Chains A and B, each alone.
Chain A
Amino acid sequence: MAKTIMTVDDSSSVRQMVGLTLKGAGYNVVEGVDGQDALNKLKANPVDMVITDLNMPNMDGITLIRELRALPAFKFTPIVMLTTESQANRKADGKSAGATGWIVKPFKPAQLLGVIKKVLG
């Protein structure tokens, strides 16, 4: 049974790039255009993993992570954040909100798949 991953980013090019990589590796992909959109969709249909950008309109990634962790269905779901930020504190914010890990943008498809393997199997 293929696992489903949601990718959340306000940039359609990033969603496309992530989506192509994931589909190529045999995962099902659903997309969210910002935190709020993702949260609405995820409440209706839980997934196996979430990959989210941090800076987004409506609801940012940190808030999304925090909201998701509060839902029983997402208490233990791997959530990986995409970050370009000058690291340390944003990573720490994300971790304390409940993120499982992070991927630094820009990244290569192989790196993305490596991280997915690490947290989702």
Chain B
Amino acid sequence: MYDLVIDDTGTGKLTLKGDLTIQHVQELKQSFQDVASQAKELHLKFTDVERADLAGLQILCTAHRSLVKGGIPVIIAGKVPAALREASDAAGFKGCVSDDDQSGLWTGG
């Protein structure tokens, strides 16, 4: 469900696909932990996400907080698909709470 490539400059490119849902949050957590341990910067791509639920939003939010706190900038690459945007709106997440409005996870891209 995810595709992680880390190049030799330490830039991690993580592409999330399909379902960002409870069934996949453990893999998702693992992928972010791989990023935390191996990358210096993360380019996160949501384009192929088809579904998202609360558990998916939670792990994204924690991953974002955790990575940024650990000095790994998170850059949203490409468009945030409607499925993800709708889920975050439905849950009332206005921008990622750990960040300001400009670089919030949901408002980016």
Chain B residue at minimal CB-CB distance from A77: B23
Q: Which among B21, B22, B23, B50 has the highest number of chain A CB atoms within 10 Å?
A: B23
Q: Which residues of A in the span 45-81 have a Cβ within 8 Å of any Cβ on B?
A: 73, 75-76
How many Å lie between the Cα of A1 and that of B83 in the bound state?
A: 13
Q: CB-CB contacts of B84-98 with A at 8 A, as 1s and 0s?
A: 000000000000000
How many Å lie between the Cα of A73 and that of B23 in the bound state?
A: 8
Q: How far is the CB of A64 from chain B (nearest CB, A)?
A: 20
How many Å lie between the Cα of A23 and that of B47 in the bound state?
A: 30
Residues of B within 8 A of A1 (CB): 50
How many Å lie between the Cα of A73 and that of B50 in the bound state?
A: 18
Residues of A within 8 A of B50 (CB): 1
Residues of A within 8 A of B23 (CB): 73, 75-76
Q: CB-CB contacts of B17-29 with A at 8 A, as 1s and 0s?
A: 0000111000000
Q: How far is the CB of B60 from chain A (nearest CB, A)?
A: 17
Residues of A within 8 A of B22 (CB): 76
Q: How far is the CB of B26 from chain A (nearest CB, A)?
A: 10
